[in-house]
């Protein structure tokens, strides 16, 4: 019953704030100069960069002169995205990295390759994410969407920290959450081992986990010169939405944002001076946003994050 209440609150709040029309209204207050900051010499890593918001983010960073590494699972799609971004931006410093973020072995191999170059990483954008409507288990024994959205995001960020610290005090991690997290608190049952699987609820709690992790990272590593920010893009028309939520996409139609509109705040967070941002904060449409809806009773669940991070360390096997 209470879950239905949370879902209803989220739906009302979303229709008021997350549509394309809301982006148009909010953008009337945007400052053009905020997006004119160059990024030459900055090394940026964007996961899930071959389509949707990840692609739009990578293209936005490349257009400002950054050295952009596209982290993609599929080589063919990654190569197509790479060629398109190089052609559209004229930036030759765009590179393809093959890594399945649901695989801990892939993540470790990828970070090892990047670390061997000895270069700092100024920006890590955790964009890769999936919503499965049926429960699928990876070869490493993890529920597949949680493997990407939860364990993979955690493991990649933790392993990249030494490279991010090399770029301090300008380094930052931006994790792309979802407004759907408003409908879910943190659960101990990460992988729906104890409940009938519900893909949308799994995704929502994964995205809540990302917001709580951002707070935790900021508290633990805030003195190391790395800023941590989570955000959500509103309701955007991406390939992931088309595949996983076709009914939602059909109902919203032209009210969905474009991928570029969804990525706008991600690029904005990459560009802004850190003294204008709140590490650990949650952002939406270029402004800090609430992490919890009034009367949804999700705030207290964040107190469990320290316990949950210990489980994530164990599941990711990066502490061994």
Structure confidence at residue 320 (pLDDT): 43
Structure confidence at residue 188 (pLDDT): 78
Helix (H, G, I), strand (E, B) or coil at 8: helix
Q: Does residue 207 surpass a pLDDT of 90?
A: yes
Residue 114 vs residue 12, higher pLDDT: 114
Structure confidence at residue 10 (pLDDT): 80
Structure confidence at residue 12 (pLDDT): 85
Structure confidence at residue 76 (pLDDT): 98
Q: Does residue 62 surpass a pLDDT of 70?
A: yes
Mean pLDDT of 21-33: 97
Helix (H, G, I), strand (E, B) or coil at 259: helix
Mean pLDDT of 270-280: 97
Q: What does pLDDT average to over the chain?
A: 93
- Cis ω for the linkage preceding 245 (within 30 of 0): no
Tens digits of residue pLDDT in 139-154: 999 999 999 999 999 9
Please report which helix (H) or strand (E) contains residue 239, including its range.
Answer: helix 239-244
DSSP state of 137: B
Name the least confident of 1-10, 64-73, 282-291: 1-10
Mean pLDDT of 203-208: 94
Structure confidence at residue 288 (pLDDT): 98
Q: Distance between alpha carbon 46 and the CA centroid of its chain, in Å?
A: 9
Q: Which two tokens stand for residue 33?
A: 């100069």
Q: How far apart are the first and last CA of the chain?
A: 41
Structure confidence at residue 79 (pLDDT): 98
Please report which helix (H) or strand (E) contains residue 125, including its range.
Answer: strand 123-126
Mean pLDDT of 194-219: 92
Please report which helix (H) or strand (E) contains residue 68, including its range.
Answer: strand 67-72
Active-site residue, selected from the candidate residues 55, 182, 187, 203: 203
Q: Does residue 194 surpass a pLDDT of 80?
A: no
Any residues with CB less than 8 A from the CB of 35 and at least 6 apart, and which?
267, 268, 271
Residue 145 vs residue 241, higher pLDDT: 145
Q: Does residue 250 surpass a pLDDT of 90?
A: no
Question: Which architecture does CATH list for 2-26+43-316?
Answer: 3-Layer(aba) Sandwich (3.40)
Q: Rounded CA gap, 60 and 58, in Å?
A: 5
Q: Does residue 193 surpass a pLDDT of 80?
A: no
Radius of gyration of the chain (CA): 18
Structure confidence at residue 248 (pLDDT): 81
Domain edges within the chain: 2-26+43-316
Q: Does residue 2 surpass a pLDDT of 60?
A: no
Q: Tell me whether residue 55 is one of the annotated catalytic residues.
A: no
Q: Does residue 307 surpass a pLDDT of 80?
A: yes
Name the least confident of 16-20, 53-57, 86-90, 314-318: 314-318
């Amino acid at each position: 019953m209470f879950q239905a209440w949370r879902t209803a609150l989220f739906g009302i709040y979303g229709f008021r704030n997350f549509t394309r029309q809301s982006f148009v209204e909010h953008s009337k207050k945007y400052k053009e100069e905020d997006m004119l900051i160059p990024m030459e010499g900055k090394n940026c890593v964007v996961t899930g960069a071959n389509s949707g918001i990840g692609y739009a983010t990578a293209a936005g960073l490349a257009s400002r002169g950054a050295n952009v590494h596209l982290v993609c699972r599929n080589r063919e799609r990654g190569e197509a995205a790479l060629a398109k971004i190089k052609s559209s931006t004229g930036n030759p410093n765009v590179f393809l990295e093959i890594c399945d973020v649901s695989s801990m072995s892939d993540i470790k191999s990828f970070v090892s390759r990047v670390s061997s170059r000895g270069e700092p990483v100024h920006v890590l954008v955790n964009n890769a994410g999936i919503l499965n409507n049926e429960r699928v288990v990876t070869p490493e024994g993890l529920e597949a969407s949680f493997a990407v959205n939860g364990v993979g995001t955690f493991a990649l960020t933790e392993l990249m920290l030494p490279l991010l610290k090399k770029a301090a005090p300008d380094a930052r991690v931006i994790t792309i959450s979802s407004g759907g997290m408003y409908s879910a608190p943190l659960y101990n049952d990460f992988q729906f081992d104890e409940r009938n699987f519900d893909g949308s609820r799994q995704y929502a709690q994964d995205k809540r986990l990302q917001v709580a992790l951002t707070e935790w990272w900021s508290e633990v590593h805030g003195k190391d010169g790395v800023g941590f920010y989570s955000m959500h893009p509103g309701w955007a028309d991406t390939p992931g939405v088309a595949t996983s939520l076709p009914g939602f996409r059909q109902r919203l139609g032209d009210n969905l944002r474009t991928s570029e509109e969804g990525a706008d705040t991600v690029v904005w967070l990459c560009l802004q001076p850190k003294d204008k941002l709140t590490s650990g904060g949650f952002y939406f449409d270029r402004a800090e946003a609430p992490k919890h809806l009034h009367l949804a009773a999700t705030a207290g669940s964040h107190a469990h994050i320290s316990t949950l991070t210990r489980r994530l360390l164990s599941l990711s096997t990066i502490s061994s």
